[in-house]
Amino acid sequence: MIIKGGIVYDPTNGIFGEEMDIFLEKGKVVEEAKGKEIDARGLLVMPGGVDAHAHVAGTKVNTGRIMRPEDARSGLEPKTKLLRPCTGYTVPNCYAIGYRYARMGYTTVFEAATPIIESRHTHEELEEIPIVDKGALTLFGSNWEVLECVRDDDLDKLAAYVAWGLRASRGYGVKVVNPGGGEAWGFGTNVKGLDDPVPNFDTTPREIIRGLVKANEMLNLPHSVHLHTNNLGKPGNYTTVLDTMDTVKDITSTRDRQVLHVTHMQFSSYGGTGWRDFESEAPQIAEYFNRNDHVTMDMGQMIFGNATTMTADGPLEYNNARLLHAKWSNHDIELEDSSGVVPLVYGRKMPVNAIQWAIGLELALLTESPWKTLLTTDHPNGGPFVNYPEVITLLMSKAKREEEMATLHELVAKRTVLPTIERELDWGDIAVMTRAAPAKVLGLAEKGHLGVGADADVTVYDLRPEKIDPARDHKRVKEALGRVKYTIKGGEVVVRDGEIVAVPRGRTYWVDASVPEKDAERVQVDLVEKFEKYYSIQKSNYMVQDAYVTDPVVVKAGVI
């Protein structure tokens, strides 16, 4: 296939708006090829989009669906000859997830949190999400074996357990949520900061973070530790985040990437001493990113309207439910973590929500390098992923931001600096934040770019970058971003003129990391005891078997 004459943005390869042809063959980008021509003359062309953080599969998503039956009616799309029926807006069904990403030009999405014990369910749902390639990050931050290894300062054993946990869950990377807090929640409490001890384990969040970051680097994993910070969602939490990022600054990355990815930073950039004097501290966070290169973040942009929050941060969801008098689901995941689900509504006239909305945008606009700020809504926590076109147009148009701010609670002007920000991102910045950077942050060498050897995942937008001004024509831009001209996945046209025309199966990435035999054996001794004494199921029923991942991409890593 030849994609003819597009205006190409491929930041990884230093291409920013050059007219060129792209050749695809056998699912890859190649130097030269013959075959079907796609007319992209004058149209905006980018690599397929990569979402590095969304909650799209697993038990918590299903809990969200059960708790919000009305959500199903809001996104109905009937069955067609080609397509399965779709339901849902904040918690869409599996088919809708694949189709809707594809229609926006996205070809890869990573599920942000799966406990090992529930990973078979996660993969069953990932298998049912069509078109896009996938992966899942495995939860380690309150896991008993992790806490014991950290307490004993036994990094070799910790690395061996992480390697085993990734294999057991067919997971791609190390996710840490409110480290230690999930365990504390089992006793009805929480950890209050980096040095607050975890009940019964004689260790602290700081030690857990440092231990897992070191183990992650020992294992040479493609992705860094992916962290949801302690105190997330609380006024004044920005100091916790700054301290967290500083505490891993001395650890060297063994790959060409960050040592820590702090996720949905919007929820961790809060000032004030309580909800009454709640304010944005995004400028402080952005300044830290402008001075440091060892960390990356994603926005976690908030979208007004319905959201279904779901997280392994159990105590956070308890607080949300109490504050909002909302429905609440609470879950203790055996030896591994806690979690909770709370449906809620973000309101334009609610001061806290208006400020949260501004914070996400401030983070992206005040951080100079787009390589450090991935575009996410933490679907469906900040809002559903189908709103990415909305977020992109907000970043590209000050006029649009002003239109929106006029509809919000007036405190947004006093408690944030958003009204003073002139910056408008360009297509190069957007291509970085939605493709090149997420692929680099995740360590996906064949995604997020269009160099020879890259996956043949390409988006052609119905937009002429040389004729349209996104700062002014933001309505037209948003529409075009939501229904692309073409999405090409693995060399096959899957979307044409905003409609799905083919439904291939996606592949699932997971990481197989090798460790020294003696450490692997020491872990097995511990696990035999834990399965006998504590787990409700046997180890043989716990592991994700090959049958659960029918089209795997196994990425090798390990202790050198």
Nearer to Zn ion, 110 or 510 (CB): 110
Nearer to Zn ion, 121 or 264 (CB): 264
Tell me which stretch binds Zn ion (CB under 5 A): 19-27, 78-86, 372-380, 523-531. 372-380
Contact status: 439 vs Zn ion (CB under 5 A)? no
Number of residues that bind Zn ion (CB under 5 A): 2
Residue 73 CB burial class (10 angstroms; 0-12, 13-18, ≥19): exposed
Nearer to Zn ion, 112 or 354 (CB): 112
Shortest distance, position 53 Cβ to Zn ion, whole Å: 6
Shortest distance, position 499 Cβ to Zn ion, whole Å: 30
CA dist., res. 494 & res. 511, Å (int): 27
Q: What crossing angle do the helices spanning 388-396 and 474-482 adopt, rounded to 10°? A: 150
CA dist., res. 145 & res. 143, Å (int): 6
The residue to which tokens 């056998």 are assigned: 26
Tell me which stretch binds Zn ion (CB under 5 A): 108-116, 175-183, 197-205, 326-334. 108-116
Angle, CA of 145, 151 and 156, to the nearest 5° = 65
At a CB cut-off of 8 Å and minimum separation 6, what does 146 contact? Answer: 140, 158, 161, 162, 208, 211, 212
Nearer to Zn ion, 233 or 351 (CB): 233
CA dist., res. 256 & res. 296, Å (int): 13
Tell me which stretch binds Zn ion (CB under 5 A): 192-200, 269-277, 374-382, 434-442. 374-382
Nearer to Zn ion, 112 or 392 (CB): 112
Of 44, 112, 176, 344, which lies in the binding site for Zn ion, with binding defined by CB under 5 A? 112
Nearer to Zn ion, 177 or 463 (CB): 177
Closest CA to 296 of 334, 257, 270, 332: 257
- With residue 332 as reference, give the H or E element that holds it: strand 329-333
CA dist., res. 438 & res. 444, Å (int): 8
CA dist., res. 48 & res. 107, Å (int): 5
Shortest distance, position 328 Cβ to Zn ion, whole Å: 18
Please check whether residue 142 is in contact with residue 86, taking contact to mean a CB–CB distance below 8 angstroms. Answer: no
Tell me which stretch binds Zn ion (CB under 5 A): 18-26, 104-112, 215-223, 398-406. 104-112
Shortest distance, position 55 Cβ to Zn ion, whole Å: 6
- With residue 157 as reference, give the H or E element that holds it: helix 155-169
Contact status: 378 vs Zn ion (CB under 5 A)? yes
Amino acid, single-letter form, for residue 544? V
Shortest distance, position 358 Cβ to Zn ion, whole Å: 20
Contact status: 61 vs Zn ion (CB under 5 A)? no
Closest CA to 556 of 400, 445, 422: 445
Shortest distance, position 112 Cβ to Zn ion, whole Å: 4
Nearer to Zn ion, 170 or 175 (CB): 175
Token code pair at residue 230: 């302690």
Nearer to Zn ion, 203 or 266 (CB): 266
Shortest distance, position 267 Cβ to Zn ion, whole Å: 9
Token code pair at residue 536: 């409700």
User: At 446, is the secondary structure helix, strand, or coil?
Assistant: coil
Closest CA to 53 of 375, 472, 508, 309: 375
Shortest distance, position 60 Cβ to Zn ion, whole Å: 10
Nearer to Zn ion, 55 or 123 (CB): 55
Shortest distance, position 491 Cβ to Zn ion, whole Å: 31
Nearer to Zn ion, 112 or 458 (CB): 112
Give contact residues for Zn ion (rule: CB under 5 A): 112, 378
